[in-house]
Amino acid sequence: MLTYGVTDIQNKPSLIKAIDVAEIIDKRKHTTLGYFISSKYDELIKPIIEKIDREEKLAKLKKLKQHQDLEFAELGVDDGIK
């Protein structure tokens, strides 16, 4: 995979047309900003991204449900003594 800096792309925008898959980095901060994937790979990548999104959402919902179940369990404990 090729690596391109933000400045490289700003100075020569036509690079984007030549890139298939590349890592975009900020050389000043030494951090990865993300990855660029050409639109010609949309059909291959889109189902994978959607599957990952669904799995992440399901995991969040399960965690939220567990948290709510604990809250209701704490509120629901009533021994009837006043």
pLDDT tens, position by position, 33-73: 999 998 888 899 899 999 999 999 999 998 888 877 776 66
What is the reported pLDDT for 82?
A: 57
d(CA 21, CA 19): 6
pTM for the whole structure: 0.53
What is the reported pLDDT for 22?
A: 92
Alpha helices in 1-82 (DSSP H): 6-11, 15-18, 42-76
pLDDT tens, position by position, 13-23: 898 888 899 99
What is the reported pLDDT for 67?
A: 78
Q: Give the residue extent of every domain in the chain.
A: 2-37, 41-76
